[in-house]
């Protein structure tokens, strides 16, 4: 059984390929099972180990001008903050973005793999793949690895022939089409701000500010989210990074410290 | 040269794949098939050898649907055609499932041609003995297309083309008489082309018309007879017009 590296192989198979005259359906990707007595228990343990790791806040929503995508940048291992500067918005290609929640390596690898497949589709069919098609490719791959411990909670946002597109895809194999999503441990807080302030007819600046504020509020209350709030916009000409603000600085922007009158000044004690 | 036409995986000394060329011969012996692309209509016409009295003619449809918006006609070995059509139909549905979009005509043509090519580069198999004419409308752009594939696995797009018996004469006729047409004019052009090599009459030709709105529609024998009558009348009028001036000298 072999890991699916079809995106990385060259297309011309050498002689001896056993699936020459088959229907052309790709074989289900799979890999070797580890040597344990209780494989089911091992699987459950592996999944539990990875589960809390979706410590992040990412969000995306469709509005009149296109799609707004935003995320924090903190990576945590339990209570330890391993990084404050993780890129959680992955650029699949110039007109499609993916967000990262869950296992960083899983998200990065599979988004890269998806980018390869999208490019191959473009070359073969002389036209860009739709957001629908791209998200379905990813969802089908993740479904075939279901139960094997992948942890991916991603949103695929892009602009294609039919306009703006937004899909939520996860490692359970689920795929949802929608207009507003937030993924990660900070998502309840982000949803609160996002759902409250959302209107379909917003300008790009208004939408960016809403996204930024939603991420900020999530990082304020959720320990596993923090760092930098990045905001990207996807329009008819592709994506563009709008801002990346440190959430600590954002805090004092939104809630500036008011100077209070000093009652008693401290004086220096004269040296004895 | 006789040694090089057993296992087709070998080339002959002068660069031929004889099995592929023999397959093209089989195509040349098959029924004539013609396809004409108009601006909003695409027409496929196939020669129908007279059906035996006891045969149920509905079971020998020569023009088939690959999907709601794509149809195929072929010349050559009909049994091979059945296998190829089944594979193509599965691929159309598989595409709808994986990218949530219907296939474009170019995509399915490329798939069929790819399949035909695979069988020219494998051990112990022979090529498919048929050339296909594939018509359809692309799902979003709505552009009409006509493609042809052949046993070697090559494919290309055409404004009008013919394959099978006497395809050269039909193609010559089309080259002389082709112009951009739409609706009923396209149907007439296709039938006129087919009548160059087939006996006149609705029971000798099978015609199907594809439009974007209504998909594929097989014409009834009576309809075909009516159009054939129109064509004959037009021909007679043209003949008369040619003869008349010369009498007035």
Q: Flag if B101 and A130 touch (Cβ within 8 Å).
A: yes
Q: Could you give the 3-state DSSP secondary structure of residue B66?
A: strand
- Write out residues 137-166 of B within 8 Å (CB-CB) of A: 140
- The Cα-based distances of A5 to A26, A210, B57, B190 in angstroms read 12, 39, 50, 49
Torsion of CA A118, A120, A126, A128, to 10 degrees: 0
Residue B7 is predicted with a pLDDT of 60
Residue A15 is predicted with a pLDDT of 39
The yes-or-no verdict on residue A169 having pLDDT over 70 is: yes
Residue A11 is predicted with a pLDDT of 46
Pick among A19, A21, A22 to test the B interface (most B CBs inside 10 A) = A21
Tokens 């995320």 correspond to A71
Q: What single DSSP character describes residue B47? A: E
Residue B65 main-chain phi, psi, to 5 deg: -85, 135
Q: What is the Cα–Cα distance from B31 to B62, expressed in whole angstroms?
A: 10
Residue A9 is predicted with a pLDDT of 53
Residue B189 is predicted with a pLDDT of 95
The radius of gyration of chain B from alpha carbons, rounded to an integer in Å, stands at 20
At A175, list the tokens. 């795929």
Q: Flag if A23 and B90 touch (Cβ within 8 Å).
A: yes
The yes-or-no verdict on residue A227 having pLDDT over 60 is: yes
Q: Flag if B101 and A132 touch (Cβ within 8 Å).
A: yes
* Position with higher pLDDT, A14 vs B248: B248
Q: Region A97-106: what's the mean pLDDT?
A: 88
Q: Does B56 touch chain A (CB under 8 A)?
A: no
Residue A49 is predicted with a pLDDT of 63
Contact yes or no for A216/A251 (Cβ under 8 A) = yes
Q: What is the Cα–Cα distance from B119 to B117, expressed in whole angstroms?
A: 5
Q: What is the mean pLDDT of chain A?
A: 85
Q: Flag if B99 and A133 touch (Cβ within 8 Å).
A: yes
Q: Region A165-170: what's the mean pLDDT?
A: 95
Q: How far apart are the CA of B107 and the nearest CA of chain A, in angstroms? A: 7
**Other Cβ atoms within 10 Å of B39 Cβ, number:** 13
Contact yes or no for A7/A117 (Cβ under 8 A) = yes
* Position with higher pLDDT, B201 vs B120: B120
Q: Region B2-27: what's the mean pLDDT?
A: 79
Q: Does A23 touch chain B (CB under 8 A)?
A: yes
Q: Region B48-55: what's the mean pLDDT?
A: 80
The yes-or-no verdict on residue A20 having pLDDT over 70 is: no
Q: What is the Cα–Cα distance from A72 to A75, expressed in whole angstroms?
A: 9
Residue A263 is predicted with a pLDDT of 67
Q: Does B80 touch chain A (CB under 8 A)?
A: no
Q: What single DSSP character describes residue B34? A: E
Residue A55 is predicted with a pLDDT of 84
In 3D space, the residue among B22, B25, B28 whose CA is nearest the CA of residue B75 turns out to be B28
% of chain B surpassing 90 pLDDT: 69
Q: What is the Cα–Cα distance from A100 to A227, expressed in whole angstroms?
A: 15
Residue A42 is predicted with a pLDDT of 80
- The model's pTM is 0.78
Residue A29 is predicted with a pLDDT of 62
A46-74 pLDDT, tens digit per residue, is 766 655 457 899 999 999 999 999 999 99
Residue B55 is predicted with a pLDDT of 82
Q: What is the Cα–Cα distance from A164 to A131, expressed in whole angstroms?
A: 8
Q: Which of B98, B101, B118 sits opposite A137 (nearest CB)?
A: B98
DSSP strands (E only) in chain B: 33-37, 41-47, 63-67, 70-76, 130-137, 144-149, 155-157, 160-163, 205-211, 215-218
Q: Region A7-17: what's the mean pLDDT?
A: 47
**Other Cβ atoms within 10 Å of A108 Cβ, number:** 16
* Position with higher pLDDT, B2 vs A186: A186
Question: How does residue A32 score in pLDDT terms, banded at 50, 70 and 90?
Answer: confident
Between vectors from CA A95 to CA A92 and to CA A101, what angle results, nearest 5°?
40
B204-231 pLDDT, tens digit per residue, is 899 999 999 999 999 988 899 999 999 9
Q: How far apart are the CA of B89 and the nearest CA of chain A, in angstroms? A: 12
Question: How does residue A228 score in pLDDT terms, banded at 50, 70 and 90?
Answer: very high
Sheet of strand B160-163, all strands in order from the earlier edge strand to the far edge: B160-163, B33-37, B41-47, B205-211, B215-218
Nearest residue in B to A124, CA atom:
B107
Residue B121 is predicted with a pLDDT of 86
- How do beta strands B215-218 and B205-211 pair? antiparallel
Region of poorest pLDDT, from A253-267, B171-185, B190-204: A253-267
* Position with higher pLDDT, A24 vs B245: B245
A162 labelled catalytic: no
Q: Region B104-121: what's the mean pLDDT?
A: 94
Q: Could you give the 3-state DSSP secondary structure of residue A19?
A: coil
Region of poorest pLDDT, from A13-22, A197-206, B2-11, B47-56: A13-22
Question: Which ranges in B100-220 belong to alpha helices (H)?
Answer: 105-118, 167-177, 184-195
Q: Flag if B98 and A25 touch (Cβ within 8 Å).
A: no
At B98, list the tokens. 């994986």
**Other Cβ atoms within 10 Å of B25 Cβ, number:** 11
Could you please report the per-residue DSSP string of A56-81?
Answer: --EEEEEETTEEEEEE---EEETTEE
Region of poorest pLDDT, from A245-249, B106-110, B142-146, B200-204: B200-204
């Amino acid at each position: 059984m072999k890991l699916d590296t079809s995106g990385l192989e060259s297309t011309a198979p050498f002689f001896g390929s056993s699936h020459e005259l088959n229907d052309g359906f790709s074989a289900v990707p799979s890999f070797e099972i580890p040597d344990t007595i209780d494989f089911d228990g091992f699987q459950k343990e592996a999944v539990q180990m990875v589960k809390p790791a979706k410590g992040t806040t990412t969000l995306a929503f469709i509005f009149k001008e296109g799609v707004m995508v935003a995320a924090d940048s903190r990576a945590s291992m339990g209570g330890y903050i391993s990084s404050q500067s993780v890129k959680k918005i992955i650029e699949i290609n110039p007109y499609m973005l993916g967000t990262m929640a869950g296992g960083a390596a899983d998200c990065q690898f599979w988004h890269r793999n998806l980018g390869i497949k999208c490019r191959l589709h473009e070359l073969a069919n002389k036209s860009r793949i739709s957001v629908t098609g791209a998200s379905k490719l990813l969802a089908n791959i993740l479904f075939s690895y279901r139960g094997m411990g992948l942890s991916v909670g991603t949103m695929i946002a892009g602009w294609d022939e039919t306009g703006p597109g937004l899909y939520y895809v996860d490692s359970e194999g689920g795929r949802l089409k929608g207009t507003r999503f937030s993924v990660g441990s900070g998502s309840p807080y982000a949803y609160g701000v996002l759902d409250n302030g959302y209107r379909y007819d917003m300008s790009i600046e208004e939408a960016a500010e809403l996204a930024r504020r939603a991420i900020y509020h999530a990082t304020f209350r959720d320990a596993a989210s923090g760092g930098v709030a990045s905001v990207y916009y996807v329009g008819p000409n592709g994506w563009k990074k709008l801002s990346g603000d440190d959430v600590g600085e954002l805090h004092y922007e939104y809630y500036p410290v008011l100077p209070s009158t000093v009652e008693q000044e401290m004086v220096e004690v004269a040296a004895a | 040269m006789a040694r090089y036409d057993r296992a087709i995986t070998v080339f002959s000394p002068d660069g031929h794949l004889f099995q592929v060329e023999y397959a093209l011969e089989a195509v040349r012996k098959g029924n004539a098939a013609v396809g004409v692309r108009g601006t909003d209509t695409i027409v496929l016409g196939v020669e129908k050898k007279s059906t035996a009295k006891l045969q149920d003619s509905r079971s020998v449809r020569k023009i088939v649907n690959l999907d709601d918006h794509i149809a195929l006609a072929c010349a050559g070995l009909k049994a091979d055609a059945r296998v190829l059509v089944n594979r193509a139909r599965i691929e159309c549905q598989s595409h709808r499932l994986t990218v949530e979009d219907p296939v474009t005509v170019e995509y399915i043509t490329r798939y069929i041609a790819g399949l035909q090519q695979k069988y020219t580069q494998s051990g112990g198999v022979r090529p498919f003995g048929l050339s296909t004419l594939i018509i359809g409308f692309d799902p979003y752009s709505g552009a009409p297309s006509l493609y042809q594939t052949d046993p070697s696995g090559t494919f290309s797009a055409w404004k009008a083309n013919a394959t099978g018996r006497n395809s050269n004469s039909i193609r010559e006729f089309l080259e002389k008489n082709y112009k951009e047409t739409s609706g009923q004019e396209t149907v007439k052009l296709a039938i006129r082309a087919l009548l160059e090599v087939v006996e006149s009459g609705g029971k000798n030709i099978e015609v199907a018309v594809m439009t974007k709105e209504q998909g594929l529609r097989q014409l009834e024998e009576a309809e075909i007879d009516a159009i054939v009558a129109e064509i004959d009348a037009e021909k007679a009028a043209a003949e008369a017009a040619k003869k008349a001036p010369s009498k007035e000298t």
